[in-house]
Amino acid sequence: MSGFHGLFIPGPTNMPFSVRQAMDIPLEDQRAPDFPAFTLPLFRDLKKVFKTEKGQVFLFPASGTGGWEAAITNTLSPGDKVLLAVFGQFSHLWADLCRRHGLIVEVLDVEWGEGVPLERCAQRLEADTRREIKAVLVCHNETATGVTSDVAGVRRALDASNHPALLMVDGVSSIASIDFRMDEWGVDLAVSGSQKGFMLPTGLAIVAVSPKALEAHKAAKCARCFFDFADMIRTNKDGFFPYTPATTLMRGLRASLDMLLGEGLDNVFARHHRLAEGARLAVAAWGLTLCAKESKWHSDTVTAVCVPKGFNSDDVVKIAYHRYRMSLGVGLSKVAGRVFRIGHIGNVNELMILQALAGSEMAMRDVGIPVAAGSGVAAAQEHFRKTAPKMELSKVA
């Protein structure tokens, strides 16, 4: 069939051609004497994306889940208590991973569609006079529900109670797409993955670690080998790795960083917000609602759309895939069958978002959801037109 398959899930995301080309190279010697000339600047530029000068960034051949595991096993011990708000599938899975490593997980259950409850978090930290909580885990952007939480607010809660717990953040679907400030927010471990804002295939867990977390690593007793920071520290300082790294992905990462830093991180964040606003305006024009219950929680990388009662969102996703060759995200766990998700993260622009909205409209109408043809597309179009960079036609060649 002609044309491209439309990929509008919240990850993996669309790969730029320059990134694909950067990876289309012969395999190389990862112990070559000139390899550090490539890797050391890569480490430095990754720190710019996390906005950290003090921290150290590690690259593991893994997914974001591997990054979660690296974060907890290198800084905690079996029996340690962690505090975690669960408000979606991925915060739920991180809690499950912690339990499997013998940690005691104290969960703040939150209605799906809301974010981290800052007041409850602050109250619990204030009440922890014995300092039993060793880490607070935050899912910055919950892709299951299209919710972004206030990481800086969690840091304020920790500081207000003078609590020494580590602050760990899942930034898999936020870092490189939504503003993230590791040093300013006092984040101790930040986890991301290659397949979302970094616009690469799945395969790299990118973990940024603060000096405080590196100090905690010295006393951590969780079993680890493949993800051990100590092995990475020993070899990374010279530009090498303790085992064979994913060199082709790293070459793609170099191209991705060049794109992100070339566009300017603030411009990247503004672009994502502008495109996300177009998607949200489309949902309103359809007469539908978002899974995110308040605007303060709106995600700029994924929009989770609630279908009306009596309809199954999986039918929308299936019709879009088979009839219109377009992938949308399904509803997960508690919101399965109730929402479909439009990913607008990474290498996306206005026309790509309009494609996703048009395909969504057709699929919804095909299953009988009463949305007016063109309504969402028109709302997004007008938003994009009004917010487009000003340009004088006389100066356009």
Distances from the Cα of 16 to the Cαs of 202, 321, 346, in angstroms? 14, 22, 9
What's the token pair of residue 268? 């990247």
Residue type at 301? T
CATH of the domain at 136: 3.40.640.10
pLDDT score for 396: 61
pLDDT tens-place string over residues 110-160: 999 999 999 999 999 999 999 999 999 999 999 999 999 999 999 999 999
Residue that terminates a domain, selected from 208, 239, 262: 262
Whether residues 228 and 344 share a domain: the answer is no
Whether residues 120 and 172 share a domain: the answer is yes
pLDDT score for 6: 97
Whether residues 33 and 179 share a domain: the answer is yes
Q: Does 12 sit behind a cis peptide bond, omega within 30 degrees of 0 on the bond before it?
A: yes
What's the token pair of residue 69? 């595991």
Whether residues 213 and 275 share a domain: the answer is no
What's the token pair of residue 27? 């395999």
In a domain, 192, yes or no: yes
Range of the domain at 254: 17-262
Residue that terminates a domain, selected from 262, 292, 313: 262
pLDDT score for 392: 74
Residue 120 near residue 111 (C-beta atoms within 8 A): no
- Give the containing element (helix H, strand E) for 208: strand 204-209
The Cβ of residue 5 has, within 10 Å, a number of other Cβ atoms equal to 10
Residue that terminates a domain, selected from 206, 234, 262: 262
Whether residues 359 and 310 share a domain: the answer is yes
In a domain, 212, yes or no: yes
Q: What is the pLDDT along the chain (397 residues), one digit of tens a residue?
A: 789 999 999 999 999 999 999 999 999 999 999 999 999 999 999 999 999 999 999 999 999 999 999 999 999 999 999 999 999 999 999 999 999 999 999 999 999 999 999 999 999 999 999 999 999 999 999 999 999 999 999 999 999 999 999 999 999 999 999 999 999 999 999 999 999 999 999 999 999 999 999 999 999 999 999 999 999 999 999 999 999 999 999 999 999 999 999 999 999 999 999 999 999 999 999 999 999 999 999 999 999 999 999 999 999 999 999 999 999 999 999 999 999 999 999 999 999 999 999 999 999 999 999 999 999 999 999 999 999 988 777 666 5
Whether residues 106 and 198 share a domain: the answer is yes
- Give the containing element (helix H, strand E) for 352: helix 350-366
The set of residues, in sequence order, having a beta carbon less than 8 Å from that of 153 and lying 6+ positions away, is 116, 118
pLDDT score for 397: 58
Residue 208 near residue 23 (C-beta atoms within 8 A): no
Indicate if the alpha-carbon torsion angle 28, 31, 34, 39 is positive or negative: positive
60 forms beta bridges with 205
Whether residues 249 and 307 share a domain: the answer is no
CATH of the domain at 296: 3.90.1150.10
Quote the CA–CA distance of 93 and 23 in Å, as a whole number: 31
Residue 124 near residue 93 (C-beta atoms within 8 A): no
Tally the domains of the chain.
2
Whether residues 248 and 274 share a domain: the answer is no
Kindly state the DSSP code that residue 127 receives in the 8-state scheme: H
- Give the containing element (helix H, strand E) for 93: helix 89-100
Whether residues 21 and 136 share a domain: the answer is yes
Query: Based on the number of CB atoms within 10 Å of its own CB, is 133 exposed (0-12), middle (13-18) or buried (19 or more)?
Result: buried
Give the 3-state secondary structure of residue 10: coil
